[in-house]
Each structure stands twice: as structure tokens, then as C-alpha cells.
Amino acid sequence: MTPLPEPFSALSPGRFNGKVVLVTGAAQGIGQRVAERIGAEGGTVVLVDRSELAEQVADGINEHVAKNGSEGSASAVTGVDLEQFAGAELAVSETLQRHGRADILVNNVGGAILMRPFEHFDAEQIQKEINRSLFPTLWMCRAVLPTMLEAGSGTIVNVSSNATRGINRVPYSAAKGGVNGITQALAMETAGRGIRVMATAPGGTEAPPRKVQRGPGPEGEQEQAWVKDVVDQVTESTFFKRYGTLDEQAAPIVFLASDEASYMTGSVIQVSGGDMG
């Protein structure tokens, strides 16, 4: 079992009571913190991830809920490949089988695999970046849409990035630009049918070392220098000259997912210390 989450900066107890919430990429990082927070605020959370570590996170949420007496609960759907539509369909069908509905979807899967100037990406590497950071959001939106349309209500929050403008991540930037496009077009298409679609665009975020790596990591001095260039650019572009925290990223996502944001749709909210990307 993963340790219980650290105390949150602020909570709204009961804000998600009675809501069924899918969170993808929930085994670590921003997705884990979002799932923990929604569970602590009363939501029935389904953690979706390739990694079985999501099961441990769900156990930690349930222990936290029991300790604090909230109405939340958590379970996990693991081993699903959201880069394929079949994986997204499985995640949604498992949720419907367990809980009968899906009120909220938080799409968090994604992240740059390599950081290097564009001319140093080959075709296969470019395709992997797009598969990783665009298709999980696209497929999950499509998979959850029928049940939300049938219910006449639903909320989708996509986690994009302010790296749509930045160095050494052109394929990732293209994928996140696609996430922004999905957000805005789907919001316009479905608002009249009771569905809200929003996104946040996180900047650089401090997080514990990844438990499951996205790729092989930088190899050699040149690769490490390209990564450092990205870190320096991201840090210097913020007004605060620092990375954000997991709580600072999770809080806006959770707000947008809640009924408190009922008059917000179609927007991509920058959460990047003033760096508009």
C-alpha cells in the first residue's frame, strides 16, 4: 500500500459526494494527487492506469477516507492501454459495470518521452510521442461520451500543457496542441447537451521520481544537456522562477471537475506560474 497522502492545502468536504469520477494516469504524479483529493472530497474514484501501482494508490485513498470519515471510495482499473480505443472502452465499461454511470472524466495520461531538438527525432519516436500524449485523451473522450450524452450531463477535464510553446519537445507540443483542440471543439459541440469540457495547461511541476518511466531517459552528455535546456527554459519563463507543486496542479483540475465551475467550458486554463506557453 502506498503511504497515505500528505495533508492537502485545502479541502472542500463533500464536494464530490455521489459523483463517479474516472482519473487516468492515476498511479503517480498529478493524476494520483487528483484521485486522492477527489476521494477525500467524497467522490467515488476509478483510477485508470497501465500500472498495478494504481491499486496501491486506491488502497491508500480508501484508508484515508476511513480514517477521516468521508463518503469517498476508490478502485482501480489496471493493465489498460489507453493509446488504443479498446483500452479506453474497457476503462469506461468497467466503471459502468461497477457504478452504473460516469459523471466526471479527468484525462491525465501523457508526458514527453524524449527532449531533443526536432531534427534529432526519427519518425518512430515522433509517432510514440503523439500516441502517448494525444490518443489517450481522444479515445477516452470518445469512450465516455455516449454514457454522458445518455445522462444529459457530464464533465471532462483534460490535462494539457503550456509546452505548446517551448523547446526540444515539438512532437509533445503538437500532441498537447491537439488536446487543446479536442477540449475546445468538444465543448462547443456538447454544451447544449449538458456536458462541460475544460483543460488545464500545467507548467513544470515538482514530483517524486517516477515509479514507471516513460522512456529510457537521457543518455550521454548531449542528451542531458538538452533536458537541462528545457528545465532552464521552463523555470525562467515563469514569473515565480520555480516549478509548481502537485497540489498546485491538482487543485485547479479538481475545481474545474466540480459543480462550482458550472459556467465554465471550452477554456484551457494556464497553471504555469505566469508562463502562458
Instruction: Quote the pLDDT of residue 54.
Output: 97
Q: Active-site residue 263, yes or no?
A: no
> Of 39, 52, 113, which is closest to residue 80 (Cα–Cα)?
52
H-type helices in 5-156, by residue range?
A: 29-40, 53-68, 85-99, 123-133, 135-151
Beta bridge mates, 201 = 270
Closest residue by Cα to residue 174 from 223, 233, 236, 110: 110
Segments of the chain scoring below 50 in pLDDT: 1-4
Residue 6: its pLDDT value, please?
Answer: 57
Amino acid at 199: A
Per the CATH hierarchy, to which homologous superfamily does domain 20-206+214-271 belong?
Answer: NAD(P)-binding Rossmann-like Domain (3.40.50.720)
Match 488504443 to its residue by C-alpha cell. 84
pLDDT for residue 33: 97
Q: Do the strands 195-202 and 154-159 form a parallel or antiparallel pair, or are they unpaired? A: parallel
The pLDDT, as a whole number, for residue 213 is 67
- Residue 50's identity, in one-letter code, is R
Q: 58, 53, 52: which is closest to 39 by C-alpha?
A: 58
Report pTM.
0.94
Reduced to 3 states (helix: H, G, I; strand: E, B; else coil), residue 106 is strand
Dihedral, 19, 31, 197, 273 alpha carbons, nearest 10? 130
Q: Which of 16, 121, 135, 172 is catalytic?
A: 172
pLDDT at 70: 81
CB environment 68-92: b (16+ within 10 A), e (fewer): eebebbbbbbbebebbeeebbbbbb
At 8 the pLDDT is 66
CA distances from 38 to 12, 106, 146 (A): 9, 11, 23
144 grid coordinates: 465516455
The domain locations on the chain are 20-206+214-271
d(CA 95, CA 168): 37
Check residue 208 and give its pLDDT: 83
Paired strand residues for 153: none
Residue indicated by cell numbers 527525432: 121
The answer to whether 31 and 23 are in contact (CB under 8 A) is: yes
pLDDT at residue 277, as a whole number = 73
Residue holding cell 479536442? 182
Whether 99 contacts 74, CB under 8 Å: no
Give the sheet arrangement for strand 268-271, strand by strand: 73-78, 44-49, 20-24, 104-107, 154-159, 195-202, 268-271
Q: Helices (DSSP H) in the chain: which residue ranges?
A: 29-40, 53-68, 85-99, 123-133, 135-151, 170-190, 220-237, 246-257
DSSP conformation class of 244: B
pLDDT tens, position by position, 29-58? 999 999 999 999 999 999 999 999 999 999
